């Protein structure tokens, strides 16, 4: 009896597992636990017969002085634990690296030929490995161990590749190659140390005697590469199935929080020709819009999961497109035309099919195709209107109308009107453009959560959420004083300006004066006041959305904290909050109770 093998775990695998758990813990949800447990179960069940055979045939051996003693089918307990901890560590690394990746965008199919090409190449390579493995085992002697690795791992890899090659090829390397390569290299080093010390021994006669480097047998190198590949392929196939289930609500209307293996297999076997390609492309466009336009919400979106994440991104995309259409219109008349078209879009989206037919109205699809630029069509088509109340959407458009009240005419400076006359106007405007957005986000949370929620709780959350939206909008206005002034807009209340003997016109001419800095400070103070009043409601949100919502709110409020720092100057086009600080804020928000 000895503790040498156990010490390998204590030194190299368990600390790594603990470190990965600490880093991933704030993101860990029930579906992740399900995935980890599912994979560990498969890894243990599939490895035991094979490993047991290897030990009994004495292809590898353990001196009795290095193991504690208990065995399972002749496999030392430490070795069984190895299957578990390796699967756990590689899986957590995979999950961590995949957290920023929005998997529905990787469902898009390559062309049929390309897709078949990749699948065939993979199948040929893996098929050849299995055949070569079989041949080596059949010949016996030196090639036996390598052959046994190939005939055991090859068929599993072949099956997973055949089911998910499209997805595996589409995913970025950081999601596939990195979680295979990093643990493989690490385990090569651990293995080298263990073999040198004699913790385990590969017996001669059944190995090739080729070394990757001094102390690392080729068979061991292939073994760790193969097992990590299987773990990552297994995870990716699981995610592939889950992504299909979550991306296509029409095909899979009801997906339980923990889908059954049968449902997962059913998803994997769905013919890709049946995928709603328009939806996948639209989702891709929405993600790229979010990535380009909002650093804070892009970071926050990666902390959400499942269909809620998809729908929030689609909601963002709609809000951004609508706002941009109005904001970027060359004339006020054109902007009003966009608001008219958007209003008609909502009318059509919410009118019943029967009324639309009786009134001979066009369907939503044709209205969008005929009236909106190509680049914005998917955002309009994919807005999940069936999950959203119409009130806040119409109110949002009302808010956009306020923006049009800032006349841009160069000829009538004296006659120019500024719609934000006092604090009340500012609050109403912010409630319309941001309070509404918060309500819409919350409606999605209520729809997607698996936790029960009462009507009273909903109403309380909606009220607080709307206040929080207002706080965020104040931050937005405080940050953008100069940018807004450049396009003729002043959201600082005229009544506040008067206290400094200023008019909105003065802000347009000099948006960076000391007086404006003071008013910026005042607005930020107001924003934090509203935030303080609403933030307690965050801990009353359903558990699955609580931490991610906090990330969304805190990432945005951090802009306000940066602006409050002495001497900070807003620079156009530059992130207000540096990336590392943003990550720290998100991390803190995720860990808050």
Ligand X SMILES: CC(C)=CCC/C(C)=C/CC/C(C)=C/CC/C(C)=C/[C@@H]1[C@@H](COP(=O)(O)OP(=O)(O)O)[C@]1(C)CC/C=C(\C)CC/C=C(\C)CCC=C(C)C
Distance CA 457, CA 545 (A): 15
Neighbouring CB atoms inside 10 A of 257's CB total: 12
Q: 546: burial class by Cβ within 10 Å (0-12, 13-18, 19+)?
A: buried
- Residue 165 vs 247, nearer CB to ligand X: 247
* Contacts (CB under 6 A) with ligand X, residues 489-548: 534, 537-538, 541
Site string (319-358) toward ligand X, x via CB under 6 A: xx--x-----------------------------------
* Contact window for ligand X (CB under 6 A) among 6-14, 71-79, 290-298, 339-347: 290-298
Residue 481 contacts ligand X per CB under 6 A? no
- For position 441 contacting ligand X by CB under 6 A, the verdict is yes
CA–CA separation, 231 and 91 (whole Å): 7
Q: What is the nearest approach in angstroms of ligand X to the Cβ of residue 397?
A: 10
Give CA–CA dist 180/189, Å, rounded: 15
Q: Does 316 participate in binding ligand X (rule CB under 6 A)? A: yes
- Reduce the DSSP state of residue 216 to 3 states and report it: strand
Q: Torsion over CA of 197, 203, 207 and 212, rounded to 10 degrees?
A: 0
86 versus 473: smaller Cβ distance to ligand X: 473
Q: How far is the CB of 575 from ligand X (least distance, A)?
A: 9
Cβ atoms within 10 Å of 251's Cβ, excluding its own: 14
Q: Taking CB under 6 A as the rule, does residue 469 contact ligand X?
A: yes
The span from the CA of 118 to the CA of 136, in Å, is 27
Residues in region 445-464 near ligand X by CB under 6 A: 461, 464
Is 225 one of the binding residues for ligand X (CB under 6 A)? Answer: no
Asked if residue 24 lies in contact with residue 95, where contact means CB atoms within 8 angstroms, the answer is yes
Using CB under 6 A as the binding rule, whether residue 470 contacts ligand X is answered as no
383 binds ligand X (CB under 6 A): no
195 φ, ψ (degrees, to nearest 5):
-65, -40
Stretch that binds ligand X, among 27-35, 38-46, 312-320, 365-373 (CB under 6 A): 312-320
Q: Are 154 and 133 in contact (CB under 8 A)?
A: yes
Token pair 């650093």 is found at: 295
> Which residue lies nearer to ligand X by CB, 54 or 538?
538
CB of 142 or CB of 323, closer to ligand X: 323
Whole-angstrom distance, CA of residue 190 vs CA of residue 377: 54
Closest among 246, 189, 182 to 213, alpha carbons compared: 189
Among residues 151, 300, 310, 523, which is the contact residue for ligand X, using CB under 6 A? 300
Options 190-198, 260-268, 277-285, 437-445: segment touching ligand X (CB under 6 A): 437-445
CA atoms within 13 A of residue 109's CA, in its CB half-sphere: 18
Cα of 12 vs its chain's centroid, Å: 30
By CB under 6 A, is residue 555 in contact with ligand X? no
**232 in contact with ligand X (CB under 6 A):** no
Matching residue, tokens 């937005």: 476
**Tokens 């600390």 sit on residue:** 15
Q: From the list 123, 291, 294, 449, which residue makes contact with ligand X (rule: CB under 6 A)?
A: 294
245 lies in the site for ligand X, by CB under 6 A: no
Select the span of 53-61, 131-139, 353-361, 467-475 touching ligand X (CB under 6 A): 467-475
Q: Position of tokens 């190198």? A: 221
Q: Which is nearer to ligand X, 76 or 384 (CB)?
A: 384
Whole-number minimum distance, CB 423 to ligand X, in Å? 18
What is the C-alpha separation between 548 and 80, in angstroms, rounded?
37
Figure out which of the listed residues 280, 283, 434, 585 binds ligand X, where binding follows CB under 6 A. Answer: 434
Nearer to ligand X, 342 or 552 (CB): 552
> Which tokens in the block code for residue 285?
């466009």
Phi–psi pair at 397, nearest 5 degrees: -65, -35
Part of the chain binding ligand X (CB under 6 A), chosen from 4-12, 44-52, 296-304, 372-380? 296-304
Under rule CB under 6 A, residue 549 binds ligand X: yes
Binding-site residue total for ligand X (CB under 6 A)?
36
For residue 409, the 8-state DSSP code is -
Q: Any alpha helices (H) in 248-331, and if so which ranges?
A: 261-268, 277-293, 295-301, 306-327
CB of 184 to ligand X, least distance (A): 34
User: Cβ 402 to ligand X, closest distance in Å?
Assistant: 11
433 lies in the binding site for ligand X (CB under 6 A): yes
> Is residue 382 involved in binding ligand X (CB under 6 A)?
no
Residues found near ligand X in the complex (CB under 6 A): 290, 293-297, 300-301, 312-313, 315-316, 319-320, 323, 433-434, 437-438, 441-442, 461, 464-465, 468-469, 472-473, 476, 534, 537-538, 541, 549, 552-553
């Amino acid at each position: 009896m000895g503790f040498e093998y156990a010490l390998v775990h204590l030194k190299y695998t368990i600390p790594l597992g603990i470190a990965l758990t600490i880093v991933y813990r704030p993101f860990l949800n029930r579906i992740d636990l399900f995935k980890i447990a599912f994979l560990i179960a498969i890894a243990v069940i599939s490895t035991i017969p094979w490993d047991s055979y290897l030990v009994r045939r004495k292809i590898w051996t353990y001196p009795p002085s290095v193991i504690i003693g208990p065995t399972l089918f002749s496999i030392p307990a430490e070795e069984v634990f190895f299957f578990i901890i390796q699967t756990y560590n590689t899986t957590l690394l995979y999950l961590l690296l995949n957290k920023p990746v929005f998997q529905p965008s990787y469902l898009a199919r390559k062309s049929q030929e390309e897709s078949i090409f990749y699948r065939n190449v993979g199948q040929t390579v893996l098929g050849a490995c299995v055949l070569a493995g079989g041949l080596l085992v059949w010949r016996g002697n030196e090639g036996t161990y390598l052959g046994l690795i190939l005939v055991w791992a090859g068929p599993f890899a072949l099956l997973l590749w055949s089911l998910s090659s499209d997805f595996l090829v589409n995913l970025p390397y950081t999601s596939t190659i990195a979680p295979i390569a990093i643990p493989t290299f690490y385990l090569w080093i651990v293995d080298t140390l263990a073999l040198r010390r004699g913790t385990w021994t590969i017996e001669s006669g059944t190995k090739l005697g080729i070394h990757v480097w001094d102390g690392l047998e080729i068979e061991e190198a292939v073994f760790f590469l193969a097992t990590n590949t299987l773990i990552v392929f297994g995870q990716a196939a699981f995610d592939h199935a889950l992504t299909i289930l979550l991306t296509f609500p029409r095909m899979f209307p009801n997906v339980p929080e923990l889908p059954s293996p049968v449902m997962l297999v059913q998803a994997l076997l769905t013919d890709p020709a049946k995928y709603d390609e328009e939806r996948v492309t639209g989702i891709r466009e929405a993600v790229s819009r979010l990535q380009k336009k909002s650093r804070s919400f892009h970071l926050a979106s990666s902390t959400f999961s499942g269909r809620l994440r998809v729908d929030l991104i689609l909601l963002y995309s709609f809000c951004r497109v609508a706002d941009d259409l109005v904001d970027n219109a060359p004339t006020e008349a054109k902007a009003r035309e966009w608001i008219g078209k958007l209003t008609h879009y909502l009318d059509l989206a919410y009118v019943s099919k029967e009324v639309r037919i009786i009134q001979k109205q066009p369907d939503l699809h044709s209205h969008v195709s005929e009236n909106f630029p190509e680049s914005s069509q998917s955002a309009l088509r994919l807005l999940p209107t069936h999950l959203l109340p119409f009130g806040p959407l119409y109110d949002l458009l009302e808010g956009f109308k306020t923006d049009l009240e800032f006349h841009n005419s160069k000829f009538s400076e004296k006659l120019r009107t500024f719609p934000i006359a006092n604090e009340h106007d500012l609050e109403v405007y912010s409630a319309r453009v941001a309070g509404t957005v918060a309500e819409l986000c919350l409606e999605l949370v209520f729809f997607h959560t698996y936790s029960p929620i009462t009507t009273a709780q909903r109403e309380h959350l909606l009220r607080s959420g709307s206040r929080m939206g207002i706080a965020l909008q104040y931050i937005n206005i405080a940050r953008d004083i100069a940018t807004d002034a450049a396009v003729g807009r002043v959201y600082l209340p005229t009544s506040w300006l008067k206290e400094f003997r200023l008019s909105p016109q003065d802000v347009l001419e000099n948006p960076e004066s000391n007086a404006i800095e003071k008013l910026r400070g005042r607005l930020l103070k107001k924003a934090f006041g509203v935030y303080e009043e609403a933030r307690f409601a965050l801990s009353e949100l359903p558990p699955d959305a609580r931490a991610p919502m906090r990330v969304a709110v805190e990432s945005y409020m951090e802009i306000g904290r940066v602006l409050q720092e002495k001497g900070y100057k807003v620079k156009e086009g530059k992130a207000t909050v540096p990336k590392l600080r943003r990550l720290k804020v998100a991390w803190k928000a995720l860990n808050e109770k």
